[in-house]
Structure 1
Amino acid sequence: MMNDTILQVKDLVVDFNTYAGKVQAIRNISFDLKKGETLAIVGESGSGKSVTTKTLMGLNAENARIAEDSQLIFKGNDLSKLDAKGWQKIRGNEIAMVFQDPMTSLDPTMKIGQQIAEPILKHQNVSKAEAMEQALKLMVGVGIPEPKEHINDYPHQWSGGMRQRAVIAIALAANPDILIADEPTTALDVTIQAQILRMMKDQQAKYHSSIIFITHDLGVVAGIADRVAVMYAGKIVEYGTVDEIYFNPQHPYTWGLLDSMPTTDTKQGSLEAIPGTPPDLLYPPKGDAFANRNQFALAIDHEQQPPFFKVSDSHYAATWLLDERAPKVTPPAPILQRWQHWHDMQAQGV
């Protein structure tokens, strides 16, 4: 299943025209998504994660502009060229989305069962009774207890975790090829987070769907992702399998994200935070956008954007530190520990 590519994003550029000027939200990114896999897109707030996924759903604001040479190839068709009618056939049917806040994603005046049945009625030739029966099965599938008793409940009657399950049921209603999850566990406690993630993996296995999982928390994706794309200031700066990103990270920004994440091996009393703030994308820097926050920055980082350097056939990082002419630097101790773990894994053939 994972040998076939279902989505190819090529040279995506998205700008927003504002009163202050043109915000360069997405600055030439490319990635692909294979059938049956989970691709996690991670990064700080404002890195471009949500704009990327809203672009894939045709949900950007009216002041957004996609560059002419950008391509979003889904099953052989370019999504960037769709009109409103074309998007209505795709959105919620072949590509569905789980939004971040289930309370604002659900209609407070509409019964939850009706909301789950709505995409079924829109995209399938079934009666209302048949749609409600399918909605009931979806409620069972996402782990909603006693669904027959609660199918006529309103959103305010449910907890945050249960509302999130309802939102996932709505997204799965039309059996989409791609499920986009935009930080679906942010407002939930750790126990409910684990349940939601496990349920999403179970549903993925059942429907053979692909998942694009958006988060700012690298810890969340450890057990769900197959591959990871790290975004910063509208660009992908590192791209690899989940093991390569966790145990053999190469970009200093990825080092910073991992160094700020607690693990069972964390020995110091406090976690390290990445200093500074992301750049203003009204005026993006001409060099590496992370240079001013990067303690390992080279002079060239302030002058030229780094290309992608190949680490392995599946692992790439856009950092001048991988250039053969660059000086060798010593990353933080936790990253050295990850590298050692990676070398041990390779030596054992894991």
Structure 2
Amino acid sequence: MAEVFGSRSLNDKKEGGLDKDGELKEAKRELEAWKAKFEKADDTKARLILEKLGEDDAKSEAQQEMNVCVKNQQKTQDEFNQSMKTVQDEIQKLTRYNQDLLGKLKRCQAELEAKKTESCKLQQKFKIYAQIPDTEVKFISQHKEPREEGDEDSQPIRGVFTISQRAAVLLQGGQALITFEEEKVARQILKIAKCSVSCENSSLDVKPRRITMDPAVKFEVHLDVSRKELKVSNVPDVMPEERMKDRLEISFSRPSRGGGEVEKVEYDKNTGTGRVTFLQPGVAERLVMRGRYNVELDAEVNVQVGPIYEYQLRRFQTFCGCPKRTILLDDIQDMVDEEDLQDHLEIHFQKPSNSGGEIESIKYIAKPKVLQAFFCESTEEKDDSL
């Protein structure tokens, strides 16, 4: 600093400059300015040092927190990896279990389909596909159960009907059925794999086969017809239910129309049907024979009347098997007329030299005909015959 002032004084002297007091004052001012700047710089330096120390502490704390976070992150990552491994193991177990279940499901579905197929076959085998025609009923005998006096007329009319299905086999074109009089003849023919039948100037090979018939059934229908109750149908919905009951009771209570004293009336508005119970038996029987009855509603309406009955199926029996005296001839070629070919077959299988015997019945059909053959039970030998 002295060097600066000295040089300035010399310069001032050279320049012919200023007095010493002015120079000194100017130097003092500059000195004070530099001191202020120094102090300010020193304060700034101290403040920066303090800030640096604070930042170092903050950095150290941040470093520690970062280390803790890194450790926590590593721990969390390890836990996540362990959890992921556990989940993956569980997923693999569930996948294997699911595959096992799918395999088991496929096996069960296959078994179910097999059971359904078997069930359908059994249903087709044992289900009755027969339309029972209207048949006149002949009463063979009347069975009276012991009853109390005065109670006979109130008991229902009871009937027992036996229904039997005749065993049958479907005879295709180019086949024949032969029933022999003796079982042993049929057994002998069935032992032959192929029979050569003479037919005019040539021979014809036929194959004897055993017959397996579809199941047949036999059952009883026990029927009870009420003597006092009557079913009413086709009743129009023209008034409230309670009022309709009253009108039905009034209409069926009139003896002039064939009615009688009514015990109770039931009516279903949704179906248009009702049930009338008379106090005395015989009225319902008389009206059932008519089939129709006039009922007074808003206008006179002709309604349908019928019996009230209950039925039960009892003694249901199924039969299956094969006839002992009847055989099937298959693979027959139509070489001649149908009747002539049937005669040739009958002649061949009647001869003992051909292992045949007396024929009870024979039936042959040519292609492409189809015939349903029915069997009945033989009364003497208890065997099926054609």
TM-score by length of 1: 0.20
The structure carrying a bigger helix percent of its residues is 2
Greater percentage in strand: 2
Structure showing greater Rg: 2
**What is the TM-score normalised by the length of structure 2?**
0.19
Q: Choose between structure 1 and 2 for higher RCO, CA contacts under 8 A separated by at least 6 residues.
A: 2
